Structure 1
Amino acid sequence: MTQRPPAPQSRRTFLRMSGIAGITAASAGALAAAGCGSNTGRPGAQGDELVHWYHQYGEDGVQQAVERYAAEFDGAQVRVQWTPGNYDTKLQAALQGSGPPDVFEYQTKVDLVRAGLLEPLDDVIAGARDDFTEAALASHTVDGTVYGIPQAVDTQILVYRRSLLDGAGLEPPASFDALLDAARALTDGDRKGLFVGNDGGVTTLAPLALFSVGLRLVTDDRRPGFAEPEAARAYRGLRELFESDALLLGAPTDWSDPAAFTQELTAMQWTGLWALPQIEEAFPGDYGVLPWPKLTDAGADSVPVGAFGAMAYAEGGKVDLAKEYIRWLWVERTDLQEDFNLGYGFHIPPRRSIADRADALAEGPAADVVRYVDELGRTSSPPEWTPAMDSALKDALTGVVRGGADPDRELRVAAETVQDELDRLYG
C-alpha cells in the first residue's frame, strides 16, 4: 500500500503534497464524475447512505477488503468509491464541487482546514489518542486539532548487509560521518557502498538532513526551518556524499525498489519498510535496518513517517454519521485495522497496541522499524507544507547536491518562497 516510483497507481507517496488553489467549480464537477468504481455496503435506513472514497491501491485485495469493511457497518449503507487516476486532483475538485464524498482518505493540509472542508475529529479519536504513533497523528493535526484518523504508517529505513559490514570490520553506522566512511569502505569494483536514489537523495533526504542537525521544515512560529546556518551544513554533507564516488547513481530502478540492494549493486540502501519481505527472501538473516543518522550533537536520528488518514467532509449534511463510521472503522475495529495494514502489503498499524501484537512485526528488522517509528518517527510532510514549498526546497537541494551550488544562497532563495506560502496560509 505504498507508492513506489515509478509505478503510477500504488499506495502512498512520501512527501505527497496537496493544494486546493486553481480548481474551478466547472472542472470540479467534471473530475468528480470521472471513471470511479463503487461498491454498496449493508443497507441502512432510507437515506442513510455514506460515500467513502479511496484512491486506487497497488496491492491485490485492498479494494475487496475495504468493500467488505463497509458491508459490516450497520449504521448506514456505505458506498465505497474506488478512485483510479489522479486521486489528489479528483478529490480536491470534488470537495469544491457538487459531488463531495462524506468520508475520504487523504493527508491533512492547512489549505483544506482553513477552507472549512475538514471536520475536526478530536471527539472521534479521544478514547484512543494516546495509542496512536505520535508522528502519524502529528501529520493530521493543525493547531492542536485532529482532522484525520491515521490508517496505516509507511516509513523509510537504511538497510545494510551484515556480512559485508562484518567483513570490513565495521559497525552499523551511528552517525552521518560513520555512514560516509562505511560507504567508502564498502565500495568495491561494481558494488557501491550506498544508494539513496538516482537523484543523489534529493527526493528522499531533504527533511532528514534537517532533522540530522536539529532543524525541521517549518518552525512553530511559522518560519522556514532551514533558514539557519546548520541547514547549509546538513546539505553540504549530502554534497560530500554525492562526490564521494561511494554513491550508486543510475540504478535500473529507484530507491523505493530494493533491486539495487538484492542484486548486490550496493551494500547499503535507503528504501521503504515495504521492501523487507523481498530483502528477507534474498538475504535471509543477513541484513539489518537503521534510521537516517544524525550529523551533529544537536541533531537526531530519524525515520520519516507518512500516514493517510480517514476524514469527514465538513460541509455535508451527514457529518455526525460520517464521524460515527470513522470511529467504528478506524478506532473501534482494531481487527480490521490490522487486516488493512498487514493483509495486503507490509505496513505498520498506527496504533501501538496493534503493532505490538502483530506477529509479522514481532522480531528481527521489522521489529526494529516499529521501534524506530515509535521513538524516532518524524513527520516529513507537515500539514502546512505545500507543493510550492516542496518545489522550492527541492530545486535548492538539486543545485547544492548535484550542481555544487552555494547552499547559503540557494536556501535563502527557497526560504523566500516558503515564507510567502506561510504568509498566504496564515495571513
Structure 2
Amino acid sequence: MKPASIRRRSLTATALVAVVPLVLAGCTGGGGGASTGGEVTKLTVVDYYGENDEKVITSFLDTCGTENGVEIERTMVPGGSLIQRVLQQASSRTLPDVLMLDNPDLAQIAETGALAPLSDFGLDADGYAEGVVQSGTYDGKLYGLAPTVNTIALFYDKSVLADAGIEPPATWDELESAAKALTSGDRYGMAVDANATYEASWQFLPFMWSNGADEKDIATPESAEALQLWTDLVADGSMSKSVLNWTQADVNDQFIAGKTAMMVNGPWQLPALDAAGADYGVVTIPVKDASDTAVTPLGGEVWTVPQTGDAARQAVAAKVVACMNSDENQLAMAEQRNTIPSKTSVADTYAEQQPDQQAFVTLVASARSRTAELGAEWPTAATAIYTAIQAALTGQASPEKALDDAQASN
C-alpha cells in the first residue's frame, strides 16, 4: 500500500460508541454550499493525498465537480490524523459531502453509521476485482469505491541476477538461495520493510496468506513458517538487520543505490526507479511451494458519501464518486499515479499499455482486503503481526513464540 496510507494509529472503542447516536440522528450538512432543500452549488471533500497525488486528485475532482455543476472545496488532512478528524466531524455534525478513506479504515467508520450505502444512489461494484469490493463493503453493504488500487510484488535487479545466472525466484527455497548468492560486499540479496508499523504487517501478509495462514489467529504453524523465512534471511546475512527500521521508501532507496538485489515494494516506486535509470524487473512474490498461489493485500483508497442529512447534497456527492470511478478516469488516474484500475477489464487494458505493471495487475485480481476477515478489528491484528516480526527478527523470541505472545496480547 502506498506509504501515505500505511500510517500507525489507534481508534478507541469509546470514541466509536460516542459517535454512533450523533451520526444516526442525522447531520446538518457538509459545511459548504447550499442548505437542505436548496440548489447544490458546492461540495466539500476531505482526503489525505499529498505531493504528486495532490495535483492529480485535484484535477479529477475539479473535472467531476464541473461535470456535475458544483464547485469542489477540498481539504487535505495528514494521514495520521484523518480518522480522528472524521470522528470529530461526525460528533459535531460537520461531515464533508465526499470523504476519502484508506480502505482498511472503511469498516471502522461505516460501523459508526457515518457513511451512506452507495446502493441508496444506484451505485454498485459490478466489474470490480473481488478484493476491491470487499474493501468497500461493511456488514454486507457497499459504502466505498476505489478508482485505483495497489499491492506489492518482488522487484529484482535484472543485471545483477543475469550476471549471477539466477532467475527471479518463484518459491521460498529459490528466494533463500538467490538472496544468499546475491549477497556480496555491501550489497544484500533481499530487502523488506519490517519496521514497527502497519507497513511491516502489509509486507508480511503475502508470505503469511500464501502459506494458508489467517489473521484471525496468527499463532499457527503456517504463520510461523512465513516468519521463519524472514528470520532466516536476516540470520544468514542475506537481509540487513536494518530492515527493522526501514520504511518502504528506504527499501527503494537501498535498491536504487545497489545495496540490495531484490526487494518487496509497490508500483508507486516506479517513477523513482525510472528516474534513477534502475534496471529492474517485477514478478509476483515467491510462495512456499510452486503449486501455491500468491495472495497479496489490497492497498488504495475508497471514496464514500457521508451521512450529512442533506439528501440533495448526498445525491450530487454520489455522482462525483461515480465520476471518479468511471472507466476513463480509472485508466487515466492509474497512468498518472502508477496504480492499478479497480475494474478488471480496465486493468487488463492498462497492462497492455503499461507492461511493467503486468505483475501488479495479476496480483490485484486476486488481492485480498485486509478487513475481509476481521472488519473493524483489523488494526489490532496488524499491530500483533508487526510486534511478532520485531520480536523474531531481533532474536528476542523464536517465530513461534513471537507469534504466540503477540496473539495472546491481541
TM over 0.5: yes
1:213 is displaced (CA, Å) by: 1.0
Query: C-alpha deviations, 1:338-369, integer Å up to 9, x for none?
Result: 333323x311121223333348x624322232
> What is the aligned counterpart of 1:87 among 70, 82, 86?
82
3-state SS in 2 of match to 1:397: helix
3-state SS in 1 of match to 2:298: strand
In structure 2, relative to structure 1, the CA distance for the partners of 1:70 and 1:178 (3 Å cut) is same
> What is the aligned counterpart of 2:285 among 286, 289, 292?
292
**TM-score (normalizing by structure 1):** 0.78
* Aligned equivalent of 2:262: 268
- Counterparts of 1:16 and 1:120, CA distance in 2: 27
1:78 is displaced (CA, Å) by: 4.1
User: Quick check: 1:341–1:349 contact (8 Å CA) kept in 2?
Assistant: yes
- Counterparts of 2:319 and 2:354, CA distance in 1: 34
3-state SS in 1 of match to 2:288: coil
1:230 is displaced (CA, Å) by: 1.8
1:164-183 equivalences in 2 (<5 Å): 164-183=160-179
3-state SS in 2 of match to 1:174: coil
- Counterparts of 2:156 and 2:93, CA distance in 1: 50
- Counterparts of 1:40 and 1:78, CA distance in 2: 10
Query: C-alpha deviations, 1:186-234, integer Å up to 9, x for none?
Result: 01111111111364984543322211311232xxxxxx23242222222
- Counterparts of 1:410 and 1:56, CA distance in 2: 35
Query: C-alpha deviations, 1:108-154, integer Å up to 9, x for none?
Result: 44332332222222465756x23212222221222432111113212
- Counterparts of 2:122 and 2:392, CA distance in 1: 42
AA partner of residue 203 (structure 2):
L
3-state SS in 2 of match to 1:155: coil
1:77 is displaced (CA, Å) by: 4.9
1:156 is displaced (CA, Å) by: 1.8
1:158-197 equivalences in 2 (<5 Å): 158-197=154-193
- Counterparts of 2:9 and 2:78, CA distance in 1: 18
1:281 is displaced (CA, Å) by: 4.1
- Counterparts of 1:267 and 1:152, CA distance in 2: 29
3-state SS in 2 of match to 1:399: helix
User: Quick check: 2:203–2:264 contact (8 Å CA) kept in 1?
Assistant: no
* Aligned equivalent of 1:373: 364
AA partner of residue 114 (structure 1):
E
AA partner of residue 371 (structure 1):
T
User: Quick check: 1:198–1:248 contact (8 Å CA) kept in 2?
Assistant: no
* Aligned equivalent of 2:118: 121
In structure 2, relative to structure 1, the CA distance for the partners of 1:195 and 1:186 (3 Å cut) is same
1:415 is displaced (CA, Å) by: 2.5
User: Quick check: 1:116–1:315 contact (8 Å CA) kept in 2?
Assistant: no
User: Quick check: 2:111–2:376 contact (8 Å CA) kept in 1?
Assistant: no
- Counterparts of 2:164 and 2:296, CA distance in 1: 26
In structure 2, relative to structure 1, the CA distance for the partners of 1:63 and 1:171 (3 Å cut) is closer
1:101 is displaced (CA, Å) by: 1.2
AA partner of residue 294 (structure 1):
V
AA partner of residue 350 (structure 1):
S
Is 2:68 the counterpart of 1:74?
yes
* Aligned equivalent of 2:213: 215
- Counterparts of 2:348 and 2:224, CA distance in 1: 39
In structure 2, relative to structure 1, the CA distance for the partners of 1:75 and 1:18 (3 Å cut) is farther
* Aligned equivalent of 1:335: 328
- Counterparts of 1:111 and 1:64, CA distance in 2: 26
In structure 2, relative to structure 1, the CA distance for the partners of 1:373 and 1:124 (3 Å cut) is farther
AA partner of residue 353 (structure 2):
A
User: Quick check: 2:296–2:368 contact (8 Å CA) kept in 1?
Assistant: yes
Query: C-alpha deviations, 1:243-302, integer Å up to 9, x for none?
Result: 120113438964335221121111111122111233234446x42112222124785323
1:147-158 equivalences in 2 (<5 Å): 147-158=143-154
* Aligned equivalent of 1:12: 5
* Aligned equivalent of 1:145: 141
- Counterparts of 2:97 and 2:85, CA distance in 1: 14
* Aligned equivalent of 1:279: 273
In structure 2, relative to structure 1, the CA distance for the partners of 1:47 and 1:160 (3 Å cut) is closer
- Counterparts of 1:40 and 1:261, CA distance in 2: 48
3-state SS in 1 of match to 2:307: coil
More helix by share: 2
> What is the aligned counterpart of 1:133 among 129, 135, 138?
129
* Aligned equivalent of 1:35: none
- Counterparts of 1:57 and 1:266, CA distance in 2: 28
Query: C-alpha deviations, 1:17-52, integer Å up to 9, x for none?
Result: 6635454989xxxxxxxxxxx9989xx963564322
Is 2:95 the counterpart of 1:100?
yes
Query: C-alpha deviations, 1:127-185, integer Å up to 9, x for none?
Result: 6x232122222212224321111132122221102222222222210111210110000
AA partner of residue 239 (structure 1):
T
Is 2:352 the counterpart of 1:352?
no
Most deviating of 309-318 and 169-178: 309-318
- Counterparts of 1:216 and 1:208, CA distance in 2: 11
User: Quick check: 1:70–1:80 contact (8 Å CA) kept in 2?
Assistant: no
3-state SS in 1 of match to 2:319: helix
- Counterparts of 2:12 and 2:148, CA distance in 1: 24
* Aligned equivalent of 1:7: none
3-state SS in 1 of match to 2:133: helix
- Counterparts of 1:320 and 1:278, CA distance in 2: 39
1:411 is displaced (CA, Å) by: 2.4
